[in-house]
Amino acid sequence: MRTRAAWCAAFVALVATACREPAVPHPVASQFRYLCCNLHYEKQEITDINYLRGKVIPFGSRVQILSVGRDRVEFEAPGRPPITLVLQYGAGKMSMDEYLGRIFLVDDPYARLPRLPRDAEKAREIDRVRRLIEEGTISVGMTRSEVLMAIGYPPAHGTPSLDAATWRYWVGPSDTFDVHFEGDVVTRMDRQEPPSSGRRRRRG
């Protein structure tokens, strides 16, 4: 009887597995996209907080999305190991699809940068801003879109709305960096470094 009951249970489990619909891959899985912004990583699994330290995958890099899960995406950029990006801190503020749309663009963001005009002075200023973006640096006078390209989206748990007058970023776990706007333009930046816990060095 026990053998027959065990056989029946196994048969039911087999039928249930066979009837279960196969997992459907996400529509963007295996596709190529462009990074919206400079993305930092120290390990092969990072989060949406995007600490402003470590190695950088440049904005506009053409990457391949390998797989998409409920709260994470694995992608690969040329010459770099596969990176898993986890939507952790902003999970309650946006869906995974919304996050994917922010980070992985269909069109190269380089096309959004203004072209160099004939006016030499204006051309120098545009070239200066372009270089800052490529270096992952921001300065007073930059626009919101230029800040996004240079240092990425502010984590949604600290900046729920991109219309906010202040965007908060993290350099490290307890090291924040605020960017203040007036309208669409950066007016100042403030960095709040963690208090030093070490002893003072002796002189001499």
Q: Give 148-185 pLDDT, tens digit per residue.
A: 999 999 999 999 999 999 999 999 998 999 999 999 99
Quote the CA–CA distance of 24 and 198 in Å, as a whole number. Answer: 53
Stretch 78-85: mean pLDDT, rounded? Answer: 95
User: Per the domain annotation, does 198 fall within a domain?
Assistant: no
What is the band of 1 on the pLDDT scale with cuts at 50, 70, 90? low
User: Per the domain annotation, does 2 fall within a domain?
Assistant: no
Co-location of 52 and 75 in the same domain? yes
The CATH number linked to 157 is 3.30.1450
Domain count, the chain: 2
Stretch 38-52: mean pLDDT, rounded? Answer: 95
User: Per the domain annotation, does 97 fall within a domain?
Assistant: yes
Sheet with 185-192, side-by-side order of all strands: 166-172, 175-182, 185-192
The residues, ordered by sequence, that sit 6+ positions from 52 with a Cβ below 8 Å of its Cβ are: 40, 136, 151, 169, 170, 171, 177
User: Per the domain annotation, does 128 fall within a domain?
Assistant: yes
Strand ranges inside the chain, DSSP E: 32-35, 39-41, 45-47, 55-57, 62-68, 72-76, 83-86, 104-105, 166-172, 175-182, 185-192
User: Per the domain annotation, does 36 fall within a domain?
Assistant: yes
Domain boundary among 52, 81, 105: 105
Span 62-72, pLDDT tens digits: 999 999 999 99
